[in-house]
Every structure is written in structure tokens, then in C-alpha cells.
Amino acid sequence: MNRIRLLLLSVGLLCALALPAWADEKIRIVTTLPDLADIAGQIAGDAATVESLARGVEDPHGVPIKPSFIPKLNRAHLLILMGLEYEQSWLPALIDEARNPTIRKGAAGYLDCSVKITPKDVPGTLSRSEGDLHPSGNPHYNLDPEGGRAIAWAIFEGLARHDPARAPQFEANLNAFLAQLDAKMREWDRLSRPLKGLKVVSYHRDLVYFADRYGMEIVGEIEMKPGIEPTGRHLIDLVGRMKAQGVKVVIREPHFSEKAPNQIAAHVGAQVVTLPIMVGGAPAVKTYFDLMDYNVRAMLKAAQAAGVAGNE
């Protein structure tokens, strides 16, 4: 009898611990990446609590599956993700374990922002011999401000569907975000003019949208194939291509080792620049606007240091 009382007491205590989480009336939003959290926070305003599972400095393809994510997903009203299999290696397992039918794929709370964009790099043939491909296309569209616009629209529509009564508030926040984005885009366009035609090499193929937006050309990647670490032979070939095409800027993403970028840069006399690919990827990058601003300016600085920045 005492055992049963102890069990009931324990269950009661656990439920009491959970009360603070249930008590608030705000929309509980969980995002996979911090960029989504920043934009969702701007559009939802004080109507929601927003939390990102991944941090800006980690590898977004290999986020560790932490059980501490489970309670967050279990109570979420909306799960906002990048889609295009960006989170494929870790998110499905978490959704299965979270016991929240609202955020399962296809449900109203499952908000895939990629439905608003036209993907680049959609593979013609699917084979693992080409590395860790994304069958629906390159998922790093957050690095194009137009991708930011698409994310904002997707989040607004999801929020308005979830809480139609507060849709006018979300719309006003969306308009404010887009107005600021337009102003910033004009500034980034002006700043990035010397980058047009600049040839670069990156570690992973995650800067396609960014390079296309500002007229840069990606000559190759340090990775042999997406998700596959480089072999010596691949690096020799890459250095050959860089020399032939006059590549003087090597981009490293924060979650990759500095070793290979420094090695190949030393061979061709190139500048290495570290570009965060998510909000929080560098100490100064606290918002989505910070991210784009930081990347455009860092690229410009690297190109000028390498003596390959064009004229405005």
C-alpha cells in the first residue's frame, strides 16, 4: 500500500513540475536552426516563446540527438524546419520520440519553410557515390536574403493558420521585417558590388545561394563530395584548379577544421575567411540581419586583402 502511495505521490510531483510549462498561453515554437528562431521571434513578437534546437556554431547536418530536446518538442505547438533533408540525420528520430502528433510530418504544426523557395543543386541522379546528397536540392537557402524572405512568409502563414485571431499582429510584424530586409538588401547589394565575379572555394557546398546572390563563382569545395572528408588527391586537384582560375579566397565554415583550408590557401597564396552559416555562428552574429551583414562584409574584407576585389 505504501508503495502505491509513493508511486502516486511521485507522479503528482512530476505533474506539478510540468505545470509552469502548461500555464502560459503563448504559442510554443521550436525551430531546428537559430536563423528560423530569430525570424520566428520577429514575426510572432510577444505572442510566442521560440527556441532553437541547434546552436549556430555546430554542424547543422550532425546535431547530436539529445534527450533534452524531447520535452521541448513534446510541448511544441509549431516545429519550424528548413526542410530539403537538412535535418534528416537527427530530426525524424526526435519527432518519433517526442509523442506530439501536432508536429509530425504532414500535421499542421510541422512547418517546412523550403516550400516557399526554388531549390538549387537538385541532383540529376541519386547515388551515395556522390556523397551525402540532398535529394530535393541544396538546403542552405538561408544564406540568400531572398531565402530569409521566404522563411518569413512561411512562418507568417504557419502562425496565422495556428492563431487566426492574432494574424493582423503577425502581418504587421511580417511587414516590418520585410521592410527592414528590403532596406538591408539594398545596402548589401551596394556593398557587394566589388564581389561580382569573385572566384572562391568553400569547405562544404553550403554557399551556393549566397554566391549566386552576390555574383560570386564557387570553383570547388574542400570536401571531396558532400559530407565526405577530402583525400590528399582531391586537395591536390583543387589546388591545381585554384591556381588555374586564380582563386584567392578560401571560405571555411566554423564547424570545420582550419587545417585543410589553411593548407590549400598557403599553396596558392589565398586568404582564408570564416563565414558563419547560421545565426550565432560568430560572436557578433546575433540576428539574421547580423548574419548576412557579417558575411557580406567579411567576404569584402577578404577579397580586398587578397587583392581581388573588383571596382564598385
Partner 1 sequence: MPTRFSTCAGIVLCVVLFGGWSQGFAKDIAGSDIEDLKKQMALMEDQLRFLRQKVEQMEARPAVAPAAEKSPAVAEGEKITRLEEKVDAAVASSKKTFLSQFNPSLTLGIDTIGSYRSRNQGFNPGDGSGGRNDGRAFSNRPAGADFNLRSAELFITADVDPFTRAYAVLNASADAAGNDEARLAVEEAAMVTTRLPYNLTVRGGRFFADFGTLAHRHDPELPFVDRPPSLDAFVGGESQTNGVEVSWLAPTPFYLKLTGAVGNKLGGETPNGVPASQSRPIKGLTYLGRLLTYFDINDDHNVELGASVAETPNAEDRTNIGRFERRLVGVDVKYRWFPLGSGLRQSLTVAGEVLHDLGEADPVNGGRRVNALGSSVRQGAWGGYAYAEYRLSKAWRPGFRFDYFQLQSEPLLVTNPGTGQFGSTRNAVGHRTDNRTWSPYLSWYPSEFQRLRFQYNRADRGNANDVNEFFLQWTVFLGNHGHGFFERD
| Chain contacts with partner 1 (rule: CB under 8 A) | 14-15, 17-18, 20-22, 55-59, 62, 64-68, 70-71, 74-75, 88-90, 92-94, 96-97, 99, 101, 104, 128, 131-132, 227-229, 254-258, 281
- The pairing of beta strand 110-112 with beta strand 48-52: unpaired
Shortest CB 169 distance to partner 1, Å: 28
Of 20 and 307, nearer to partner 1 (C-beta) is 20
Of 217 and 229, nearer to partner 1 (C-beta) is 229
Beta strands in 227-266 (DSSP E): 249-252
- Interacting residues of 192 by C-beta distance below 8 A, sequence separation 6+: 214, 215, 296, 299, 300
Shortest CB 75 distance to partner 1, Å: 8
Cell numbers describing residue 68: 533534452
Q: DSSP code of 66?
A: -
Of 19 and 244, nearer to partner 1 (C-beta) is 19
Q: Are 26 and 74 in contact (CB under 8 A)?
A: no
CA 184 to chain centre: 19
Shortest CB 244 distance to partner 1, Å: 29
Rounded Cα distance between 309 and 297, Å, is 12
Shortest CB 34 distance to partner 1, Å: 12
Rounded Cα distance between 34 and 88, Å, is 17
Q: List the beta bridge partners of residue 272.
A: 250
Of 182 and 229, nearer to partner 1 (C-beta) is 229
Closest CA to 69 of 57, 85, 81: 81
Q: Are 142 and 151 in contact (CB under 8 A)?
A: yes
Of 67 and 232, nearer to partner 1 (C-beta) is 67
Shortest CB 282 distance to partner 1, Å: 10
Query: Is 108 strand, coil or helix?
Result: coil
Shortest CB 67 distance to partner 1, Å: 4
Shortest CB 235 distance to partner 1, Å: 15
Of 234 and 255, nearer to partner 1 (C-beta) is 255
Query: Is 91 strand, coil or helix?
Result: helix
Of 71 and 168, nearer to partner 1 (C-beta) is 71
